[in-house]
Each structure stands twice: as structure tokens, then as C-alpha cells.
Structure 1
């Protein structure tokens, strides 16, 4: 008798999505394919307001990937990632979304592990035990994959993976988590030389998987058993178990699993002198589109980033498509808009007896962001800076992307806030950028961006204001960056970072 199991992402995705994923994991691919077509037709990105949109989109991207719909998978994942980027990642939905994105990026392992680790951290902060267990499973699985492909890191990765699998076992309260933690940890245990415990866990996972018709977990359990028997020198049994793993992987259409299993089976057959079996395993590797999948794996990180940025740019551009004075990347006024609007606005400010301020902002070490994290991360950084500028200014202030990584804020109506109005706003902006969580934009290991700022007040002439603020900005850069400098013609003091 089958027991009731708590579904993955319960409460975070619609029931129909749960049902389709269950069909796919149980090997009923044709039924899943038919239901998936109905789900995404005619608009793949439409999600009911009752569900976290980014989570649903990325979950559908995973299904599309396994069903061979690569272009659709990229489209859905990029849109889901763009949706997630709008806010700081927090809560179980964000944790699951980050974790699923990490799984999609597994071929691009540096990016994948960064997202998977961040997902675990977000899940841990959320206090949701189920989300944490699933995120731990995905990170542990990625660590096993890295151990298999990077000999120099294998022992360290196996040990880290085992820690995460064991924590998932302690925290998971549903059958799928237990089964997958048992089968995954079996492979990690074998990697550190604990073959007996590995065999016990893999056998237990297989028995539970067969009882629950969980073909996905059956595949990984058979593979772990095949690896255990191969390590023990029992190649005949290793071939049998790995063959069953491959058959299960093909049933559920998980191409990445099929690639691993067929490669292992070919190696086992080669060791046995079974040329026919080796050729058949290699043929099945080719049938899994090995060249295409390998290429997609290596390029997926960059492609997904580019698609995500393109989606963000398109979203911002669509809101300002009638205005030629908008920057499509950030949605701020562009240089042309400043040149068109500033003279009249400055005259109005002067006529009201107010002193205009110009704040000139430059992102520190921006070339390093591009070099270390990629140009896509650079674009995201500029978008995040623009978002922070909006948060720290008023709707009537004029925000401009001047050029490259330079921004301008024109305070045209400071409400007689005193002689330091511009300096106070500038320091608020500097502090907001300095304290911002940049991990999602540039990665957990990259140097987080800061800004240097030059500030100038009056006279009401754009060229004069810009020249004074530019000179102050130059002093801020020379003095160490991440600081605010005031034009001395208006002030004799400077505000520095703590």
C-alpha cells in the first residue's frame, strides 16, 4: 500500500504543477508531456496571483528542461530569475527558487554551487524545515557531481555532501526526502571509503523507492549500488545495477542522469571486456544528445544570465518605450533626458529661491565586477544601484544614468533642508550601497560594489554644477573610494565612510 507523501513545494506551486512533476518522476512521460502542453498554452509565463511567480516559473523551467524543451526552459527560468531579483531573497519560496536555479546551472558549477549554498542559507533563515531539507539535498547532489569530475576536490566534496545529506535526513519529515538523502549519501559514503554503510543506505532507498513507485530515486539508488559493486570488484553485478539505473533514468527523461549512468555503464563493460555492452552504452549516450547537452551545460550559466538580463531590460524598456529619454537597462532618465530637462528645471528651482544640488555617483571597482562575475552581473549591479537610488530619493528628484557606471541625482526641491541637504542624501545613498546584500547579483565570493560620490550646490547651471561635482568625485576616488566629498566652493568639510 502506498503511503501519503507530502509533495515537493507544497503550498508554493499549484496542484497541477505538483501532479505533472509526480508523473515525470514516476516515468509517465507521455502523460506529463500532454498535461504540460495544456498548462503552458497559450501563455507559458502566466501564473495565478495566489502563487509566488518566480518559484512557479522556475519549477516549470525544470520540467521543460527534462522534457527536452530547452528554449522554453531558458525563457521560463530567465523570467523567474528576473522576478526573484526584484527583492532581497527571503523565505521558503525564494530558497526553493534559488535551489532550482542552481540545479539548472549544474553544468556551470561555480555559479551553481553559489546559488545552491545561498539557497540553503535563505532556507535556514526562513525557519522552514521542509524547504531547508530540499535545499540541502540539491546542494549535496551538486557536491557529489563535483567530486566525480574534479579529482583534486573529491574527498572534500564527498565529506561536505555527506554532512548535508545527513542534515536533510534529520530535518526531512517526508518519504521523498528520506529516499533521496539515503541514495545520495550512499554515493558520498562510498567516496570516503565507507562501503558497508553506503550499501545499507542504497538498498534501503531502493526498497522504499520501488514501494512508492519513485522511479527518480530508484535510478539514483541503482546507480549507487552499481558503483558500490564496481568498487568491490563485482563487475557483473555492477553492470546489472547500473543498467537498471540507466533504464530508470531514461524512463523519467532526466538527460543529465542518463549521461552519468551510460558513461559509467560503458566503463564497466569495458573493464569486463564486453565490447557489445560498451557499444550499446555509448549508443545510449549519443541518444541522450551528449554533445548538445554538454554544450548546453557549459553555456547554460552565461545563456541564462543573458536571457535574464534581457528580460529585465525588456520589462523596464516596455514601461518607458514612449520616452526616448529613458535608459533601457535601469529605467532611469538618460543623458539626453538630462540635457533636455535640466535647464528648465534648474531655472524653476532658482526662481523659487532654492539651491539645486547635483550628486555625481561612480560605482567603485566596476571593471572588477565585469571581469570576475561577467558582464551580465555588471548589468545587474547597475540595475541594483538604480533601485537603491530610487529608494533613497524622492519621486520629484531627477535620477539619471549618465554614462557607463556613473549616475546623477538632481535635488531640485530640497525643501530648505539646510546647507547639508545634498550631502545628507549622498551619504544615505553611499551607506545603502555599502550595506546592500550583493550575493545574488555578483556571487558570494566576489568583492561587493561600493560607490564614490561628489556633491555640488548652485549656481543653477548644469555645466557648472557638473564640473564642481566631478572635481569632488575625483577627490573621493583619490581618498580611497566608498566616500562622499563636497565641492569646497559650497562646503569646507567632507563626509567619509565609517
Structure 2
């Protein structure tokens, strides 16, 4: 099996590409096992290098073709939610939207909206393969409106052919080109350009057979059967349509099965083959019928409902996060400290670690406000917040308590827990003292420094805060720009200057 689909390369995991190739080759048993392995190996795709929406919707399409409707719904809804949360005009967004539109092809209104939007985004991306893929899916849906939904307007045929022709001009080889050739030939047949259609579909069929592309071969045979029928060659038409239907059933594409079965039934009727006609119609009914239509419409509605629900949940979570964060510095605020600190202290205690609470006050802050103005005072607070982030670890909780006071909860993880608090506090004090304040504030008589009170647990937040506050009081009244330690396990306080 070849692996020449540019759209798949670099955007989805290798395992998922392998699943798609197995499915298009009709190797369903191997495909089922590989699909399960792929889902199990990277269920959340967190921190991976692939485009999450593209992977999710690609898996949704695979799940749909494998008959796993519930999983397809879940994956597609997650992809839609990801896209809705953060719109980007890049190739990955174009692919994800385009595949969602194709998945919803039976529910034509949202499908065409998504597909057209995907083409516009693809054009902005400037990537030929991305544009070609999106054009192919939009053209296929427009063609489907004529073939499946009975739209008599030739405008849809001309629009679909225009999409296909542009896609062909952007590709030189591979699955994308041969499937676009076959699909464009089907549109040409409907426009009575039978000879041109025959040239294109012959090329597509030969290439599909060479590459063992069962899905592409099914599309090509389906189109070729219609070429034969238009020429009045009904026996070859029936034989070719039967081959096409067999390939579509092996590759488990419901829409394609339905279309080919319907056409095969019409050919059998012309031949007077009533048994063949009845068999073809039963296969069409089994593939689609009311169940598939209801499922597809239900899928579209459920996707939208779930997207709205998850979007509302994310907005609520974002609002809660905003309420717990100080808008000036971006640090947690007092409410955030009260929300997060008790849990962190409890976790530290359960793991035998020693939590430290540092209470920090900016020295001479009132002088900055009085002499340089409140906007410069805000600048000092933001600079101090940045220094605190640099000197603390990612798991430590840093908060702006009130005014020029900050609180830091250190969750000790290794080394001498009794030394962690004083060491970090002194590092912070030194960083603020040595900061290039004159570059920030200009010439100033007394650049800001910090006084820090430190207290160690295990203890409740209120107890740690009280102990650190006592230590901070000593630091302020002992000359500022110093660290005082109030360790509950030591009878005498420690001072670091």
C-alpha cells in the first residue's frame, strides 16, 4: 500500500494514517484492530505535535465508516469544540472544517457552509495540497446534491466541476489526484461530456489498481459504469457497477454504497434483470435508508448542542479563572490563594513534604507612588511579579495579596525541606535588590527592595500566614530589604540579611 497522501503527512499520527490505508484497501479486520490501538495509544493528544482538531475529525470519519456512530459523534463534537474555541486561518483548521463538512454531507446546509468556509481558509493558507483537498470535498458535496438529493439545477454540476478542475491543477500524483479525476469524470458524465469523462476515469482507475487503492478504484468503477450506460453498453455497465459496489462495501463508505447501489439497480432495470435490481435496491436500503438519514441529521444536531454546552462550560471556567487572578500582575489574587493553597498544603503534608509560605512587602513603595505616580507604581508591581515568577518553580503558588504585598506558597519536593524557604526568599530578595530599577523608573532616590517573612509547615494556611506576617513585621522594623524566618519547629526566629 502506498502512503502518498500529503494531507495526512505531519498532521495526524502514523498509526492513524495506517488505519486509513487499511480501510481504503478493504482490510476491515486489520483496520478495526489498528483503530483500537491508535485510540488507546494517544486518547487525548495532549502536548503532541499534530493538529488536535484534524486528528479528532479524521478519527471521527474513520469511526463513522467503521459503524461506530457514538464514537464518531464524540470525536467530531470534540473537534468542533476545539475549532470553536480558537479560530485560526491556517491549513490545519481548513482540513478539520472540510472533513467535518464531509462527515455531515447528508445534512446539506451545515455541510456546505463548513466546506465553503474551509476552502476560503485553505486559500489563505496558500498550501496547494490543502486547497485541493478542501476543493475535492466541497465539489463532492455539490455533486452529491444532484446525484442523491435530486437537485435539477445544472449550476451545482458546473460548480462541482470547477472545484474538481482546480484541485486537479494543484496536484500531480497520488490518491488526491486520482480520486479527484474520478469524481470530476462523474460530473462530466452528468453534463453529457462522456468522452472527456472516459479519459479521466480510465487514468484514475489504472492508477488506483496500481496502488492497491480499493476506495479510489470503487469511485472510478462507479463513474466508468455510468460512462458505459450513457453509451448504451449495459452489460459492461452492470459488471463495472458491481465491481464498484463490492469495493465500496469492503471500504465501508455508506454514502458511496448508497449511490452505487441505486445506479446498479437502474442499470439492472434497463436490462430486465429484476433479481439484480431488487438485490441492488436492498443493498442501498441496508446502507442508507431512514436510519442513516436520521443518524446523520441527529449527528449534526447533537454536534451543535454539545459544542454549545462545552463552549458555555469553557466560558464559565474562564470567568472563574479570571475571578481568581489579579488583572494587574496576572498572578493569583487573594481569592485564588484561599482557593488553591489549602489543597496544595494538604498534598504536601500527605507526601511528607514541607510547605513554606513567604509573605513579601515592597519597601519604599509609597515613595514611588508619591514621586513618580500611580502608573509607575503599577510598573513596579508588574516588575516584582515577573521577578517572582523567575525565581519560583512552576508548581509554586504566587499571589498578589493586596496593594504591594505578595504571598508565595512553596511546595517543597526535594532536598533539605527546612532550607528551601529561606533559600528561595533570599534569592528573591537579592533579585529585587539587584534589579535594574533605574532603567524602569529613571533616576530615583531609593529603588524598591523587598522585605520577606517566611514560615514553614505543616500547618493550616491561616497559621502559616500569621507566622509569616510576624516574621515580615520583624523584617520591616529591622531595616527592610531582609528576610526573617519564623519556623514553627525552632524556638528562635532566624534572620537572613
Instruction: Pick the TM interval, shorter chain.
Output: 0.5 to 0.7
| Aligned-partner Cα distance in 2 for 1:58–1:4 | 20
Please state if 1:212 is matched with 2:185: no
| Aligned-partner Cα distance in 2 for 1:178–1:323 | 49
Corresponding residue of 2:491: none
| Aligned-partner Cα distance in 1 for 2:63–2:180 | 25
Length-normalised TM-score, structure 1 = 0.61
Map residues 261-410 of structure 1 onto 2, 5 A cutoff: 261-288=260-287, 290-317=289-316
Corresponding residue of 1:383: none
| Aligned-partner Cα distance in 2 for 1:3–1:36 | 18
Corresponding residue of 2:105: 106
Cα pair 1:74 1:307 within 8 Å, conserved: no
Distance change >3 Å, CA 274–CA 91, structure 1 → 2: same
Map residues 456-471 of structure 1 onto 2, 5 A cutoff: none
| Aligned-partner Cα distance in 2 for 1:48–1:71 | 26
Residue by residue over 1:412-436, the C-alpha shift from the partner in whole angstroms, topping out at 9 and shown as x without a partner, is: xxxxxxxxxxxxxxxxxxxxxxxxx
Cα pair 1:6 1:174 within 8 Å, conserved: no
Distance change >3 Å, CA 116–CA 201, structure 1 → 2: same
Cα pair 1:99 1:116 within 8 Å, conserved: yes
Residue by residue over 1:100-158, the C-alpha shift from the partner in whole angstroms, topping out at 9 and shown as x without a partner, is: 01001101111111111111110111111111111111111111101224555441111
How far does residue 321 in structure 1 lie from its aligned partner after superposition? 8.6
How far does residue 174 in structure 1 lie from its aligned partner after superposition? 3.4
Cα pair 2:61 2:72 within 8 Å, conserved: yes
Distance change >3 Å, CA 319–CA 42, structure 1 → 2: farther
Distance change >3 Å, CA 21–CA 139, structure 1 → 2: same
Please state if 1:68 is matched with 2:60: no
Please state if 1:139 is matched with 2:156: no
Cα pair 2:148 2:259 within 8 Å, conserved: no
Distance change >3 Å, CA 207–CA 265, structure 1 → 2: same
| Aligned-partner Cα distance in 2 for 1:282–1:153 | 22
User: Larger Rg: 1 or 2?
Assistant: 2
How far does residue 284 in structure 1 lie from its aligned partner after superposition? 1.9
Corresponding residue of 1:384: none
Please state if 1:40 is matched with 2:13: no
Corresponding residue of 2:331: none
Corresponding residue of 1:174: 173
How far does residue 280 in structure 1 lie from its aligned partner after superposition? 1.5
Corresponding residue of 1:30: 29
Distance change >3 Å, CA 199–CA 173, structure 1 → 2: closer
Corresponding residue of 2:155: 156
| Aligned-partner Cα distance in 2 for 1:173–1:59 | 24
Cα pair 2:119 2:131 within 8 Å, conserved: yes
Distance change >3 Å, CA 95–CA 134, structure 1 → 2: same
How far does residue 39 in structure 1 lie from its aligned partner after superposition? 1.8
| Aligned-partner Cα distance in 1 for 2:138–2:69 | 23
Cα pair 2:6 2:129 within 8 Å, conserved: no
| Aligned-partner Cα distance in 2 for 1:100–1:220 | 18
Cα pair 1:202 1:225 within 8 Å, conserved: yes
Count of aligned residue pairs for this structure pair: 326
Please state if 1:188 is matched with 2:192: no
How far does residue 287 in structure 1 lie from its aligned partner after superposition? 3.4
Distance change >3 Å, CA 39–CA 317, structure 1 → 2: farther
| Aligned-partner Cα distance in 2 for 1:267–1:294 | 22
Cα pair 1:107 1:300 within 8 Å, conserved: no
Length-normalised TM-score, structure 2 = 0.62
Distance change >3 Å, CA 4–CA 79, structure 1 → 2: closer
Distance change >3 Å, CA 150–CA 4, structure 1 → 2: closer
Cα pair 1:95 1:131 within 8 Å, conserved: yes
How far does residue 241 in structure 1 lie from its aligned partner after superposition? 1.0
How far does residue 34 in structure 1 lie from its aligned partner after superposition? 0.4
Cα pair 2:147 2:259 within 8 Å, conserved: no
| Aligned-partner Cα distance in 1 for 2:12–2:171 | 19
Q: Can you give the 5+ residue segments of structure 1 that lack an aligned partner in the other structure?
A: 325-498
Corresponding residue of 1:249: 248
| Aligned-partner Cα distance in 1 for 2:41–2:161 | 43
Distance change >3 Å, CA 232–CA 57, structure 1 → 2: same
| Aligned-partner Cα distance in 2 for 1:145–1:186 | 14
RMSD (Å), alpha carbons: 2.6
Corresponding residue of 2:372: none
Residue by residue over 1:357-379, the C-alpha shift from the partner in whole angstroms, topping out at 9 and shown as x without a partner, is: xxxxxxxxxxxxxxxxxxxxxxx
| Aligned-partner Cα distance in 1 for 2:203–2:286 | 31
How far does residue 297 in structure 1 lie from its aligned partner after superposition? 2.6
| Aligned-partner Cα distance in 2 for 1:104–1:4 | 22
Cα pair 2:228 2:236 within 8 Å, conserved: yes
Distance change >3 Å, CA 152–CA 319, structure 1 → 2: closer
How far does residue 48 in structure 1 lie from its aligned partner after superposition? 4.3
Distance change >3 Å, CA 252–CA 3, structure 1 → 2: closer
Indicate the SS of the match to 2:85: coil
Cα pair 1:179 1:208 within 8 Å, conserved: yes
| Aligned-partner Cα distance in 2 for 1:318–1:229 | 60
Indicate the SS of the match to 1:41: helix
